[in-house]
Amino acid sequence: MKAISIGLLGLGTVGTGVVKIIESHQDKLMHQIGCPVSIKKILVKSLSKERQVPVDSSLLTERVEDIVEDPEIDVVIEVMGGVDETRSLLLTALQNKKHIVTANKDLMALYGPELLSTATENGCDLFYEASVAGGIPILRGLVDGLASDRITKMMGIVNGTTNFILTKMSKNGSAYEDVLKQAQELGYAEADPTSDVSGMDAARKMAILATLGFSMTIDLDDVKVHGITEISKDDLEYSKKLGYTMKLIGIASREGEKVEVSVQPTLLPETHPLASVNDEYNAVYVYGEAVGETMFYGPGAGSLPTATAVVSDLVGVIKNMRLGVNGRSTVAPQYPKSLKAPEDINAKFFIRLHVSDEVGVLANITSIFSEHGVSFDKILQLPLKQKESSEIVLVTHRASLFNFENIMQELIDNPRVKEIKSTYRVEGEGAI
């Protein structure tokens, strides 16, 4: 039987894993899809560079046309990264009737809808499981659950670098800068960690998840993002004292027709399933009206885990090819985009303040909250070493983001408030 021919765009960490898996799993691939799979061409930046995996040098090319315009190539696997050039390459490949498997979250978060509709127009599959939480089959999980359930909330730990940093800060009481340095030495963080620690990487993944899970086109700009760079040791200590664990959480929630998608440091009760997801691991917690709570846990990155997701997608494409049903599995968004206003977003909030140490200050502060109809779940007041100051930690009951932001403005303007040290969302307690 004729082999399926693959063109591979990129031979970095993930590309190397894909080559390894396709070579070492020929038997299993044959058993599942009934025909051999062979890599025909691999696009690389430089033919002369040394490779991490032994590759027949005749497979390598520096010319994109050797892949996207070769009529013998059936499936293009894109693991080269990048956005604009890659987008145009993949559009060409789709117009040339090649199916696509991609691990590129940046691309899918920005141009997913365009690429998916181009794929459908050309009768091609475009699968992108590896773009979110590498080794976790979360996109398939969502698609499977969609028809029989209504997903109302997703919370994800979808960035391994920041989860590694927060886990170490929390366990060892270390400062952010020290742990970041350690993470860079261990290879868990890039030399320029901005994309991870700013929350942008997580935001891209949440845009992809929300678009699929809510069947609504969510653009990257719709995602409110706050990173982990300002989290202090004190914040982590107080969280622990109050029974919480700090995580960088991507939230996609829906009430009625309106959705909110955001990424921010968030406090979760220690008993929440996401609270025990540690180190570089990822997890996506999904709440469906019928199924209730489910969670998918696994490695979010890495050569072989991500390559596994890519090859699973490839198997899906090839099964569809053999059945002659490519291009039919994409489900177009069903609902028009409708974003929540701050009035519609409800959560509990953690606030840490430094206030002047005078009679009646706590009563004064808390009255500001109650004027906005916000009451408290937990209150801690502690003296500070600096004279004439105390520290107040408050955890509210559920309140709207609108009310919370107004309260914060009043606190900034209040002469008794010396400094708002930090504020965090609190999730995973009670109401979904």
Q: Would you tell me which residues interact with a second copy (CB under 8 A)?
A: 17, 21, 25, 28-29, 31-33, 135-137, 140-141, 144-150, 215, 271, 273, 276-278, 281, 288, 290-299, 302, 304-305, 307-312, 314-316, 323, 325, 328, 331, 334
The CB-of-300 to a second copy minimum distance in angstroms stands at 11
In 28-137, at which residue ranges do the beta strands (DSSP E only) sit?
A: 37-43, 60-61, 75-78, 99-102, 126-127
Q: Directed axis angle between helix 26-33 and helix 13-24, to 10°?
A: 70
Instruction: With H, G, I as helix, E, B as strand and everything else as coil, classify residue 337.
Output: coil
- Looking at the Cβ atoms of 10 and 137, the one nearer to a second copy is 137
The CB-of-133 to a second copy minimum distance in angstroms stands at 10
- Looking at the Cβ atoms of 129 and 196, the one nearer to a second copy is 129
* Residue 105 is labelled as binding a ligand: yes
- Please give the Cα distance from 228 to 212 (Å, whole number): 26
Residue in this structure with the two tokens 């993002």, named with its chain if needed: 225
* Residue 17 is labelled as binding a ligand: no
Instruction: With H, G, I as helix, E, B as strand and everything else as coil, classify residue 404.
Output: helix
- Please give the Cα distance from 163 to 247 (Å, whole number): 7
The CB-of-111 to a second copy minimum distance in angstroms stands at 23
Total residues belonging to the chain: 432
- Looking at the Cβ atoms of 281 and 369, the one nearer to a second copy is 281
- Looking at the Cβ atoms of 81 and 302, the one nearer to a second copy is 302
The identity of residue 274, as a single letter, is L
Cβ atoms within 10 Å of 245's Cβ, excluding its own: 23
* Residue 16 is labelled as binding a ligand: yes
The CB-of-256 to a second copy minimum distance in angstroms stands at 15
* Residue 348 is labelled as binding a ligand: no
- Please give the Cα distance from 74 to 77 (Å, whole number): 10
Active site residue 205: yes
- Looking at the Cβ atoms of 31 and 49, the one nearer to a second copy is 31
The identity of residue 295, as a single letter, is M
Residue 352: name the closest of 264, 407, 421 by CA. Answer: 421
The CB-of-409 to a second copy minimum distance in angstroms stands at 39
* Residue 274 is labelled as binding a ligand: no
* Residue 12 is labelled as binding a ligand: yes
- Pairing of the two strands 60-61 and 37-43: parallel
Q: Which of 41, 98, 205, 348 is catalytic?
A: 205
* Residue 190 is labelled as binding a ligand: yes
Long-range contacts at 67-71 (CB < 8 A, ≥ 24 apart): 67/7, 67/8, 67/9, 67/41, 67/43, 67/93, 68/7, 68/92, 68/93, 68/96, 68/98, 69/96, 70/7, 70/40, 70/41, 71/96
- Looking at the Cβ atoms of 322 and 421, the one nearer to a second copy is 322
The CB-of-113 to a second copy minimum distance in angstroms stands at 17
Residue numbers in the known binding site for L-homoserine are 190
Residue numbers in the known binding site are 9-16, 105, 190
Residue numbers in the known binding site for NADP(+) are 9-16
- By annotation, the residues acting in catalysis are 205
